[in-house]
Amino acid sequence: MTTRMDFSSEKFTTIRHRNLWGQWTFVFEKSKLCCLRYSPEESGEVRPSAVQACTYAVADIDANLPPSVSRAYRKAVQQLNEYLAGKRHEFSIPYKLYGTEFQTKVWEALKEIPFGETRSYKEVAEMVGSPKATRAVGGALHENPIPLILPCHRVIGKAGALVGFGLGLDMKRRLLVIEGAIPQEMLLE
């Protein structure tokens, strides 16, 4: 059993940001992103119009942030908003991972799945040289500290089913529609 990294230490800076999709929590260690969490709007639904409007969300910067964290935060928010608007295909945000050797290997392998494509858990297990470790891959994906940046939403069940995603299956479906990996009609499911 694995446990999530505790980012409450003073060495981490936590910043909450709201855009039209909901609230995002960014955790930085100096200028490197260590964690990204999401909470949907109060209604629990992501509004379809958010796809177009989110690029206009303004980053609320606390004046007390160290300049390196402030720059990293602004860059992360800009890239997140561009991605959610379908205008960015990959992220160039510096990050630092905290996890086991296997988890880190799986998380890094996610960067090899191109925008608009998906891979099965088995395929990811093969990518990391552990073809029988599909359940362990699922466990590592569940602990992914920076979803979207390391795109675990691109991993699907072997029969093409949308299964398992820490930010919720509705979000996974929406992200895959943005990327063109699944048809827009699947939003209605």
Nearest CA-CA partner of 131 in 140, 122, 118, 142: 122
Buried/exposed 79-108: b ≥16 CB within 10 Å, e otherwise: bbbebbbeebeebebebebebeebbebbbe
CB 54 within 8 A of CB 78: no
A 10 A CB-CB count for 73 gives: 22
Catalytic residue among 34, 35, 54, 152: 152
Look up 152 and say whether it is catalytic: yes
Nearest CA-CA partner of 160 in 181, 131, 136, 179: 181
Question: 21 Cβ partners below 8 Å, 6+ apart?
Answer: 38, 40, 41, 46, 50, 54, 84
- Which residues participate in catalysis according to the annotation? 152
